[in-house]
Amino acid sequence: MEDPANNELREIRINPIVPTESVLVSTARGLRPRKDEKPFETSSESRVEKCPFCKGNEDKTPPTISSWPNEDEWSIRIVENLFPVLSDRQISKNLSFGLQHVIDGYGRHEVVIDHDNHSIHVDQMSQDHLYALFKTYRDRMQILYSSDSRIKYVLVFKNFGPAAGASIAHTHSQIVAMPVVPENVATELQHSFAHYEKYNQNIFSHLVDEALTFEATIYDRESGEVRRKIDVGQYVIEKTKRFIAIKPFASRFEWEVQIYPLFSQADYLECSDEDLEDFAGLLKRTMLRLNKVIGGAQYNYFLHSIPHGDEFKKHAASYQWHLEICPRTSIPTGFELGSGLFVSTVSPEDAAKELREVKID
């Protein structure tokens, strides 16, 4: 029997930005049931007669809020969500976000039909289309923020596949404008600010620098012998001049990837068209890699950006907007739900290596 201690990794990693989201990296088999499911069934049809999000069925959804490139020949279309979690029409007194917030259910919930093609996956969309999609998010966020000063946060997210909570098969994402800041964003803000005050350094940029660190060799001071080699950019998945996709050192999900700007920018709304075009290319390549490695990836992605309101202005230097991509390849266990500690059975270093080695054109 082989000695498991030799090649198994077992350590608790603290996420420096959100310490409550720490992870137990344990490559021991059996600790976490993998969902050995076949890639979920997607139709390969570009149009499905009964689908409310398909072209020609526009009357089956609430009216168009905005569309791209135009209303008749749309490729991207925003409509109100038929089943909103928040709405300015109905006030729910007991809606809670986390434990601390009991709020009036004021806000808006909209659906972005990402593409007119029913079955297309993000990695199959053209860079130009992804560029238009992320511009659509940005421009809609801007409008929602300026529509009401009570809106503190506009969350953009996508659920892809039933395991990720997508209830409609047609590719879509969602925008929720809310009067409170989501708990995890609040925690990111708080910790990055504390780090900035202590070290006068943006923790996100610091993490990116660490991910980029290329081969460092540690020599023994006495003998001059090589003691340890730190791998080159071992957490980097993709990089352009303006953006980087990294595998976080303390990842909650085995194949989680995050995308950061390589320049200082807390607010996604300030991202220029030119930068978004670059971002779209990097996102496409990152999704191609994920899809090759985990085949038929079901995932959630969401944008984190600085909230609006005067009280958040002090975070501008210490925060960075980013996109978190969380593929769903396993089911949370009782241990995870009970302890709040996520378990990752693939070491982030191995996952990053595998993703980086995928050949894409």
Distance CA 144, CA 176 (A): 9
| Choice from 129, 170, 308, 315 touching Zn ion (CB under 5 A) | 170
Nearer to Zn ion, 106 or 267 (CB): 267
- Subset of residues 34 to 53 that bind Zn ion, contact rule: CB under 5 A: 48, 51, 53
Distance CA 118, CA 330 (A): 26
Report how many residues bind Zn ion under the rule CB under 5 A: 7
Q: What are the helix (H) ranges across 148-272? A: 183-199, 203-212
Q: Choose the binding region for Zn ion from 79-87, 111-119, 137-145, 159-167 (rule: CB under 5 A).
A: 111-119
CB of 111 to Zn ion, least distance (A): 12
CB of 319 to Zn ion, least distance (A): 10
CB of 230 to Zn ion, least distance (A): 26
Nearer to Zn ion, 284 or 304 (CB): 304
Site string for Zn ion, 276-315 (x = CB under 5 A): ----------------------------x-----------
* Residue closest to 253 by CA, chosen among 304, 302, 194, 182: 302
Contact 145, 151 (CB under 8 A): yes
Q: Choose the binding region for Zn ion from 4-12, 121-129, 163-171, 287-295 (rule: CB under 5 A).
A: 163-171
Nearer to Zn ion, 187 or 234 (CB): 187
CB of 32 to Zn ion, least distance (A): 23
Contact 178, 8 (CB under 8 A): no
Distance CA 236, CA 51 (A): 39
The tokens describing 272, both together, are 């220029």
Between the CA atoms of 78, 84, 85 and 90, what dihedral angle is there, to the nearest 10 degrees? 120
Q: Is 54 in the site for Zn ion (CB under 5 A)?
A: yes
Nearer to Zn ion, 120 or 355 (CB): 120
Q: Choose the binding region for Zn ion from 3-11, 37-45, 164-172, 274-282 (rule: CB under 5 A).
A: 164-172
CB of 328 to Zn ion, least distance (A): 17
Q: b/e for 136-168, b at 16 or more Cβ within 10 A?
A: bbbebbeebbeeeeebbbbbbbbbbbebbebee
CB of 124 to Zn ion, least distance (A): 15
The tokens describing 221, both together, are 């001071």
Q: 266's torsion region: left (phi>0), alpha (psi -120 to 50) or beta?
A: alpha
Q: Is 326 in the site for Zn ion (CB under 5 A)?
A: no
Q: Is 172 in the site for Zn ion (CB under 5 A)?
A: no
- Subset of residues 116 to 145 that bind Zn ion, contact rule: CB under 5 A: 118
**β 101-103/95-97 pair status:** antiparallel
* Residue closest to 325 by CA, chosen among 260, 233, 235: 260
CB of 54 to Zn ion, least distance (A): 3
Nearer to Zn ion, 8 or 270 (CB): 270
First-to-last C-alpha distance (Å) of the chain: 42
Contact 290, 257 (CB under 8 A): yes
Q: Choose the binding region for Zn ion from 7-15, 170-178, 237-245, 338-346 (rule: CB under 5 A).
A: 170-178
CB of 113 to Zn ion, least distance (A): 8
Q: Contact positions toward Zn ion, by CB under 5 A? A: 48, 51, 53-54, 118, 170, 304
